[in-house]
Structure formats: C-alpha cells, structure tokens
Chains A and B, each alone.
Chain A
Amino acid sequence: MNRHWLAGLSLAPLLGATQTLLQATSIAVLSLLAILLHRLGMTPLRRLLTGIGADVASMLLAATIVTCLELTLRAHTLVLYQSLGLYTALIALQCVMFDHAQGHTKGWRAPLSLLLGFTALCISLGVARELMGSGMRLAHLTPGALFLLGLLLALYNRIWRQRAPSRRQGTP
C-alpha cells in the first residue's frame, strides 16, 4: 500500500463529488481538515504503537474524526451533506491510506504539498465542471469528470512541469 493506492482512492471523491464548485470545495476542505487532524493525532500515537497496533489506532481515529465531521455537517448544512452522499464517509478511508503512504515521513512539507495538490485539483475540477456543465451533459457525469481530470493533468504537465530528463540509455 503506497502512494498509488492513495491516488487511486482519492480518485473517488475527485470524480464523484465535484459536480458543482460548492461540492468540490467542501469535499476538498473536509478531506484536508480530516487528514490533517488525523495526522496530528497519529504523530504522538506512533511513538506508543507500532505495526498492527498503529493501524488499528489509525482506523479508530479516522472513524472518530469523520463521524464528528458528518454529524456537524448534518446539523448545519444538511443539503450539502446529502448532495455529498457517501463521499464524506469515504474520507475516513482516505485518512487511513494517507497515513499509510505518508505516516512515516518526518515533517509536514511532503504531506502538505500532496494535500494541497489534491485540494487544488478538486477545486479546479469543480470549476471546470461547473462552467461546462450548463452546456455539456458529459461534464456532469462521472466519465466526463475523468476526461476533464486527464485534460487538467495534461495541461499541468505541459505548462508547469519541467520536462523530465530522458532516462534512456545510450542517448547522447
């Protein structure tokens, strides 16, 4: 279980809960909040527990955080909670996976950049789907979100990312 699993799992809220900008922003903020709280709680626990004990603690903590988040959402923004559906509960899994992938790295720099990347992707996908949704039905549906995600990532790679040096052997 590593970053690839985390990326795969993050795809679910990324595609499923970004139909409107509001939804996308809220799922991004909620994930950010839950994962940060989870990491905050797990940092001291890791000193006490190792191996399978740490995994169980991680699950317990994730379940508690997400339960409280869900209850708060239901009490104050019921409509939003209903429109997000299952995806709020899925954040718990995301917390656990994130802990697996990033729990052993020291410091906050790497996990924060990963999280901010996720948030930015969520929100930009939300903006794109909100803008295109009125004209194109495809943008409203999940497959359309996958296309858009691919386009966004391609755009990102084209503009900001430096071209990776060729690793092929034998090139001059």
Chain B
Amino acid sequence: MNRISLRSCMVLGALALLALAFSMTWHHYAAAPIRAAQEQLKAQTWLSVLPAERYDNNPLQHPIRLNDTQLAHSTLRAGYRALLGGQPSAVVLHSRTQGYGGALELLIAIDPSGRLIGLKVLQQQETPGLGAQLVEPGNTWLQHFIGHALTTTPDAAWALKRDNGQFDQLAGASVTSRAVIQALHDALRYFDEHAEDLLGGTVHE
C-alpha cells in the first residue's frame, strides 16, 4: 500500500470540495425544471387513461380522500375526480396489486354509472414476453375490459375462462391476468360501495 503525502491529501480535499460545490450548484439550478418535468410527465401518463372529451378540469388537482383502501386483492393508493361542465364525469383510481414478478400498479377510470372507461398499467415488473405483454404497444388485452360494469358482468364472471369466468387470459401469464382482473373487480366493487363519496361534493352545485 503506498502512502499518500500531505500534498496529495490537500489536493484531494480541495477536489472533493470543488466537486461537491459544483454538484450542489448544478442541482440547485436543475431542481425546479426537474420538478416541472416530473409533474408534466405524471399529468401526461395519468391523464392518458381518460378519453380527452371526458373532462375539462385538471383531475390531478382534485384528489379524493379514500377510506378503507385495503381491498380483497389490491390496495387503492389514490383517487381523482374528473369533472365535465362542473359535473363529475369519471373517477380515476390508482390501484396496486401483486403481479407475478412484483407490484403491479394500475390506473382505473370509472364513469359515474360504474362502467370501466379506461385502464392503464403504471408500473409492472412482469416477465418480459409473458406478463409484460400488458404494456407492449399494440397489445389489446386490456381493452377487453373497457365498457364492463358490475351491473352488466356479474361477480362470478370476473375471472379467467379457465377459472369459469368470462375473460381470456394473456397467453402464458395467468398469474398476471388474474391479478389484473381481481384488481379491476376490486376497484369496481369499491366504486359501487362508495359511489356517493367518490362522486360527491360537486353533484348538486
């Protein structure tokens, strides 16, 4: 082990200070643009779950306080209310469930009558080529659920065909498919049970 001379130590110390100062200054000036970029990206990805003609407010600024967020197979992490002409036009629920490879986060948009109108995967760690087909561009599996509601599709039908339900599964990814279906079912049930809270407030304005 070669020893370090005093001069090297001083040079290194000065370099460390300089490096730190430089990074911190850079961070200081980059912080605001980074925050803006993150917010913009969040708004972009989150709002893409809603058809554009469905809302005229900024739903992300209308968060809903949720109670009993622990559902049968999933957890609700947040809810947002979309308004159109002052009337609630949809509710977006952020749901988190357990997929095959890890946590699976979904955005679920539900219209006031309890119909599913939008569905988006926010985060997933599924197996590439199997469960991760969910997020591959051009995959239409998620679109099969659009338009379903608890009134049109009974509880027992919210399952894969192989589990005597109504829905096809993603090829080779039954765990992922089940997780998605159960999370959707949970969210729709939650909506039906709490519809007044979720839509409330502005209905009578």
Contacts and interface: CB of A to CB of B under 8 A. Distances in A.
A2 interface: no
Contacts of B128: 140-141
B30 A74 contact: yes
Interface string B106-138: 000000000000000000000011000000000
Interface of B is mostly: helix
Interface of A is mostly: helix
B171 interface: no
Contacts of B38: 78
A67 B16 contact: no
Nearest to A41: B15
B41 interface: yes
B66 interface: no
Interface stretch (B19-27, B80-88, B89-97, B141-149): B19-27
Interface residues of A, number: 25
B27 A71 contact: yes
A137 B128 CA distance: 10
Contacts of A164: none
A57 B41 contact: no
A1 interface: no
B2 A75 contact: no
A60 interface: yes
8 contacts: A49-B8, A49-B11, A50-B8, A56-B12, A71-B30, A75-B30, A78-B34, A78-B38
